[in-house]
Amino acid sequence: MTGTIDRIRDATIRANNVAELRAFYNRIGFGELLARGDDFVVFAAGNSELVIHRVADQPKAAIGLAFQVDDTAPIAERLRRAAIPFEGPKQMRPGLIGIQLTDPNGNFVEFVQPAHR
């Protein structure tokens, strides 16, 4: 073992309304792995996990999430069908194009792909 970081294991959103965020992330195509009512939910995010758990006081727009995908087009189509506003696809960073949106908690979410596939 070298101690080298391989990937982010999970990203956690702390929220006072888990049900709202659970419904939002289900609508944009995340698959649930585990849920404990309105207190805790874990979604598959490729080889990582997106975790949402309930806290009493949670600041809005506390985090930004970026998910690398092989193609943003199917995600954009799901967002259109679900009437969820987003921007893009557009150049995000050098070598990446993607789409951007915010979740009901005000968190910034990106789906990015390599610019040259």
Kindly report, residue by residue over 66-90, the tens digit of the pLDDT.
888 888 899 999 999 999 999 999 9
Domain boundaries, the chain: 10-114
Q: pLDDT of 5-14, one tens digit each?
A: 456 667 888 8
DSSP 3-state of 106: coil
In the block, residue with structure tokens 């207190």: 39
- Assign domain 10-114 to its CATH architecture: Roll (3.10)
pLDDT of amino acid 112: 85
Q: pLDDT of 1-45, one tens digit each?
A: 544 445 666 788 888 889 999 999 999 999 999 999 999 999 998
pLDDT of amino acid 66: 84
Q: How far apart are CA 18 and CA 1, in angstroms?
A: 37
DSSP 3-state of 102: strand
